[in-house]
Amino acid sequence: MSQIFKLPDVGEGLTEAEIVSWRVAVGDTVEVNDIICEIETAKSLVELPVPYAGTVDELVAAEGQTIEVGQPLIRIAGADQPAGADQPADDAAAPAAEEAPAQTETAQTESAQKEAAETEPTETESAETEPAKQQSQSSAAENSEENQALVGSGPKADSAKHRRRLRSTAPDLVDVSDLGIEDHGRPQPERSGAGAAESIAQASPPVRALAKRLGVAAGELVGSGRGGQVTRDDVERRAREKQAQREAGKSPDSGPPAPESRAAQPQEAGLLRSGPREENVEVRGVRKATALNVADSASTVPHVSVFKEIDVTATMTLRQVLKNDPAYQDLSVSPMLFAAKAIMWAARRHPQVNASWHETHYTLHNYVNLGVAAATPRGLVVPVIHDAQIYNTLGLAAALTQLTADARDGRTTAAEMQGGTVSITNVGSLGLDTGTPILPPGQAAIVALGAVRKKPWVVQGHVVPRDVMVVGGSFDHRLIDGDLAGAFISDVAAVLEQPGLLID
């Protein structure tokens, strides 16, 4: 009985080693794990322990010779080993080989080789006889194709390296399955060899991800990298081409290019403007606060709105007088100023309008914290003039001017936006006639001022041009019924029609 110990992969993925020196000679007796030789691999000098006990029958490889992993190294005769270790298994296929213990030296060798054949087919091993074996001893290098065996459980790559292949297997594919693209190029292993994936190029995962992100499908890509691999540049180039095609107003597959003159026609473009088809914008800051406030107000407060068209010619006349007054120089003298005065005048007569609803009770405010809705670059803010009732007309004009400037410049503080009791919104500044504002949280009334226009108006039976506007507003119906809302707006309207009412 004899055993052949073949060169194992003693590192990680090594393929060959040089025999530096033999520590044993033919005829020596060895025990399992005795060191038989020293080899040098690409990584290290290694002493090899023998897996068999017995007598050294032959040193197959010579000192100074470099042999490949799996080639025969030494033959041990009279192999007498510890129980269970008589047939080194190369892999999972080994137990099958062990089921048929060898009867003779030849059969034993054959068995060992057959075992190797489980993972490394050769053409001649099953017919190999003693003479053939002798030949292999004398010219191991030439016969390496036939004799080499897989050894151990080293990396599979080693085994593949030595095995001949007659055909190729389809390469890995660009995975764009989640783009909803027909996967005509997926591999068809059961119909292999048909070149099923010829038109599909290889790409690394990051490049695939880029393609996915830019909306480029596998079939559109031609690889320019090594081995036809799709590169980042390929994907980006294709994405630019598609973008250019879109901008030129034609779909990628719609025949010859359109004439250049049509390229600039905006209606030919696929979208309203440049930019993505959909864009998600994070809701934050003023937008978020406004959204929360109006949603809360609109869903909890039953709003009632009333409007009245009025002749504000007298107010506009008074406005011009004040504008000419040096005391009002640099101050904003707008219909808002008179509306603010009118609101306080009306609120004095209708306390329940200047109030806050608290479910089990409501609070009547004996002061006016006047909120002024202002459209600013940051969004809608409603700064408050606290205790507006204490200001005279000049003081109120100054307060409104300051408030408007602060809001426009983003200087309004959080405290300045708290505590409003009644608000006013000037939709007229937007060129509108009226609207139905949403009540600021905690307030029961908001007055809307429309634009002042020259309109035909009937005065004492004659149609004459007058300054006309619509005043109206929204009210918390839990506190304020339609008649109260109407009475309040009518009082505001009365003041704006007859600002002389403000004279105490």
Give catalytic residues, as residue numbers. 477
CB of 152 or CB of 486, closer to another protein: 152
Please state, in angstroms and as integers, the Cα–Cα distance from residue 215 to each residue in 7, 100, 181, 278, 440, following that order. 52, 60, 11, 14, 45
Q: Distances in Å between the alpha carbon of 212 and those of 207, 220, 276, 277? A: 9, 12, 15, 16
- Is residue 175 involved in binding another protein (CB under 8 A)? yes
- Give the number of other Cβ atoms within 10 Å of residue 267's Cβ: 5
Q: How far is the CB of 435 from another protein (least distance, A)?
A: 55
Find the part of the chain contacting another protein (CB under 8 A) among 150-158, 219-227, 432-440, 452-460. 150-158
186 binds another protein (CB under 8 A): yes
105-117 vs 130-138: helix axis angle to the nearest 10? 70
Q: How far apart are CA 30 and CA 51, in angstroms?
A: 10
Ramachandran angles phi, psi of 347, nearest 5°? -65, -30
Nearest to 343 by CA among 314, 372, 379, 376: 372
Residue 238 binds another protein, judged by CB under 8 A: no
Q: For another protein, which residue of 1, 4, 76, 170 counts as binding (CB under 8 A)?
A: 170
For residue 43, the one-letter residue type is K
Looking at the Cβ atoms of 154 and 473, the one nearer to another protein is 154
Sites for another protein among residues 109-148 (CB under 8 A): 121
Whichever of 4 and 304 has its CB closer to another protein, that residue is: 4
44 part of the interface to another protein, by CB under 8 A = yes
Q: Which of 27, 84, 266, 456 binds another protein (CB under 8 A)?
A: 84
- Does residue 22 belong to the site contacting another protein (CB under 8 A)? no
Residue 434 sits in the site that holds another protein (CB under 8 A) = no
Q: Which is nearer to another protein, 82 or 431 (CB)?
A: 82
Question: How near is the Cβ of 173 to another protein at its closest, in Å?
Answer: 8
Binding of another protein by 47 (CB under 8 A): yes
Note whether 152 binds another protein by CB under 8 A. yes
Give the DSSP letter string of 333-349.
Answer: --HHHHHHHHHHHHHHH
Q: Which is nearer to another protein, 163 or 288 (CB)?
A: 163
Binding mask 48-67 for another protein (x = CB under 8 A): xxxx----------------
Contacts 24+ apart (CB under 8 A), 217-221: 217/176, 217/179, 217/181, 218/173, 218/174, 218/175, 218/176, 218/181, 218/185, 219/181, 219/184, 219/185, 221/174
| Choices 152-160, 269-277, 299-307, 476-484 (CB under 8 A): range interacting with another protein | 152-160
Using rule CB under 8 A, residue 6 touches another protein = yes
Q: How far is the CB of 14 from another protein (least distance, A)?
A: 8
Tokens of 185: 């190029």
| Residue 447 contacts residue 310 (beta carbons within 8 Å) | no
Interface residues with another protein (CB under 8 A) are 5-12, 32-33, 43-51, 82-85, 87-89, 91-92, 94-95, 121, 151-155, 163-170, 172-173, 175, 177, 186-187, 189-190, 192
